[in-house]
Amino acid sequence: MSTVGVIGAGVMGKDVALTCAANGYDVILCDSDADVLASAPQRMRRLLRQYRMMSPAVAEWPTDEVLGRVSRTAEPADLAGADWIVENIVEDPEAKRKLYLRLREICGETARIAVNTSCVPITRIASLLPAPHQVIGMHFMNPVPLIDGVEVIRGEHTSDATVKAAEEFAASLGKRPIVVNDMPGFVSNRLSHLFMNEAAFLVQDGVAAPEQVDDVFKLGYGHRMGPLETADLIGLDTVVKSLAVLHDEFQDPKFRCCPLLKKMVDAGFLGRKSGRGFYDYTTSAASAR
């Protein structure tokens, strides 16, 4: 196994591409946005610089060699020969449906598909493809090069062989796979999005400022990041879309989206990627909004 196709060149897709390339895979990074593709090498170089300062293991990754293993394309058809395809596009069920209907014609029954989704059920995605037993969820955590765990989600038709291959693939990237069963949100996001959403309500209701909410969980519970720092890292637009999926799937009001989150997204305050979310990232040190 030597080639990995990575669909989606956003923050998560670039991180997955870097991690695969750093561990010896040839990577084909695919995105329909020409500007995103054009800027990917520069942005990945910058990401590597940041991660090298945060991780001794990443500090050993040879930048030019890693980036040299990543090619780019706007055409999903170019992924036809990949051993694994890791999909990382926007958390929108309809966008995913359209993509997988295209992949149905491209991949046939040979490639294994790793769906890097936050909330969309794996069984539903697998139903769009000719070989549903080859489809599995692989939910990488953000930022991918720094987080050891990968949530591996077994769909209704995922074969034991595919589960084993996914575990081996994760291990080859230096990750520890945690295999769970398919249900919207799985384990991580079914819990974490409630966590982030309620933290936003605390800010909206004037109970605490963002840094106070985060400090309670970092200093009181030993979390590496607080819920609002995590939301800013993921992207508030992604959090809002994921909450919408969870609300639609479960029809449970506990997944109602905090109005403050919607307002911030409407204002373009998406978190780190826009320079402002619950914190301001345009200064050298992030400060709470």
Task: Classify 4 as helix, strand or coil.
Answer: strand
Q: In the annotation, is 91 catalytic?
A: no
Distance CA 143, CA 271 (A): 14
Distance CA 155, CA 215 (A): 37
> Of residues 88, 139, 197, 211, which has the active-site annotation?
139
Q: Give 181: exposed, middle or buried? Use CB within 10 Å, 0-12, 13-18, 19+.
A: middle
> Of residues 87, 91, 167, 189, which has the active-site annotation?
189
What is the chain's Cα-based Rg? 19
29 DSSP β-pair partners: 6, 72
Cis peptide before 143 (omega within 30 of 0): yes
* Helix count and strand count (H, E) for the chain: 12, 10
| CB of 153 closer than 8 Å to CB of 143 | no
> Of residues 118, 197, 242, 274, which has the active-site annotation?
118
User: 103-112 in b/e burial notation, b at 16+ Cβ within 10 A?
Assistant: beebbeeebb
| CB of 104 closer than 8 Å to CB of 127 | no
> Of residues 151, 211, 229, 249, which has the active-site annotation?
151
Q: In the annotation, is 189 catalytic?
A: yes
Count CB atoms within 10 A of the CB of residue 113. 26
Task: Classify 42 as helix, strand or coil.
Answer: helix
Catalytic residue ranges: 118, 139, 151, 189
